[in-house]
Structures are given as structure tokens and as C-alpha cells.
Amino acid sequence: MSSTAVRLVPAPPAEYESTATALSSLGLIRSRAPLSEAEQSPNSEIWLTEDHRTAAVWVRDELLDVSYISVQGIESRVLAERIRSALPMDDIPQLQARVIADRDPDVLMDSILRAAVLACSGFDPQAFTFLQWALRDPDPLVRRVALLAVSVTGWRDFSPILEEISEKDPIDEVRKQAARVLNSILRPEGDASAT
């Protein structure tokens, strides 16, 4: 049995309705339990297994404009596999393939943000490589989206490249954003362990 949380990102064009249908088809029950006022949001919903020991929490992240499912509880890995079998999910190799096949900036930026959501589950070398590549994209808007994604991961491994970007990027706003991410998130003030 596993109690590790697993994060899943439904592949586009998945909308809430198709996700809810898939979760329901797996025998999950939408929770009707009242949440505290701070937790109430039209952008999240809890789906429980019959024994209420494992949950699939659907979340619409407004900052990143990405929907995902956080599977938590005793059988999180088992339930995550069941959800993957019922609903197509993104993973880093699929995101990389999508941006290679379609160099549209909107597709690229969406893929970068989806990678950030997936990366929140823990360090992933493939996600690191993908985001590092995005930080070097010729389009400054793509680089800024990649900086947002890096800030979401919080991975200090990005520090050397952010130092370089904060000093050498040709666009002032990209340099400033890289410095903010580096100093506020990857190396917060008073953190003696950040060197």
C-alpha cells in the first residue's frame, strides 16, 4: 500500500465534464462534505473511493491555467493507474513531442505550464531538461513563462541558469524576472543553505 500523492494532468482537450465522467465511471464518489470557507473553491472538487481512504482531487489552477488531479491516500498509486486507464494523461515525453510537432507559441507555453504542474510531484530529470530548454527559447514571452514554471517547481538546480539569465538575457524584463525567481523563490532571504 502507498500513501504518496500522485499528480496527473489530463491531456487536452480534456475539460471538467470528461474528467468527472471518467472519475465517476471508476466508481469514485464526488464528495458532498462541506469544506471550510478557506478551502471552498469552484476550482476544486474531491472524488473519493468507496472506502473513503483514497481521493482524487480535481483542481483548476488559475495561475497556470491548467487542470490537474492530485491522487492522495492509502492506494494513491493504484487509483492513479486506474485514472490513467480511463482518461488520457500528459507526461513530459508527450509534452516534448507536442512542442516538436507544433512550434506554435501558445502550444509551447501551455506545455511548459503543464510540465510545471507535473514537476510539483518531485524532481524529474526529464522535466528539468524540458524547462531548461524552454528558458533558452528565442521568444522572450516563452522564456518568461518558463521562468514562471521554474518558480512553481522551486528546484534550486535551476539557480546557475537563472543567474546567467538575470545577467545576460537581452530583454530587461526577462532579466528582472529571472532575478526575482532566483532571489525570492530559489534563494529566499535568510536561507543560509542556499549558496
Position 1 confidence tier, pLDDT thresholds 50, 70, 90: very low
Environment class of residue 138 by beta-carbon count within 10 Å: exposed (0-12), middle (13-18) or buried (19+)? exposed
**Taking the model in full, what pTM does it have?**
0.86
Please compute the mean of the pLDDT values over residues 39-64 and round it to a whole number: 88
CB 185 within 8 A of CB 151: yes
d(CA 134, CA 3): 33
Q: Which amino acid is at 6?
A: V
d(CA 20, CA 142): 32
d(CA 81, CA 122): 18
Give residue-wise pLDDT tens across range 112-163.
999 999 998 789 999 999 999 999 999 999 999 999 999 999 999 999 999 9
Percentage of the chain exceeding pLDDT 70: 90
pLDDT of residue 33: 63
Please compute the mean of the pLDDT values over residues 43-50 and round it to a whole number: 93
Mean pLDDT of the chain: 89
pLDDT of residue 5: 87
Please compute the mean of the pLDDT values over residues 70-86 and round it to a whole number: 96
pLDDT of residue 186: 83
Please compute the mean of the pLDDT values over residues 56-84 and round it to a whole number: 95
pLDDT of residue 4: 77
Please compute the mean of the pLDDT values over residues 69-76 and round it to a whole number: 95
pLDDT of residue 195: 37
Return the residue matching grid coordinates 539569465: 165
Give residue-wise pLDDT tens across range 5-44.
899 999 988 788 999 999 999 999 999 765 555 455 578 9
Overall size of the chain counted in residues: 195
pLDDT of residue 149: 96
pLDDT of residue 3: 58
DSSP E strand boundaries for 64-181? 66-73, 89-90
Helices and strands (H, E) in the chain, number of each type:
8, 6
CB 134 within 8 A of CB 116: no
Beta pairing, strands 66-73 & 29-30: unpaired
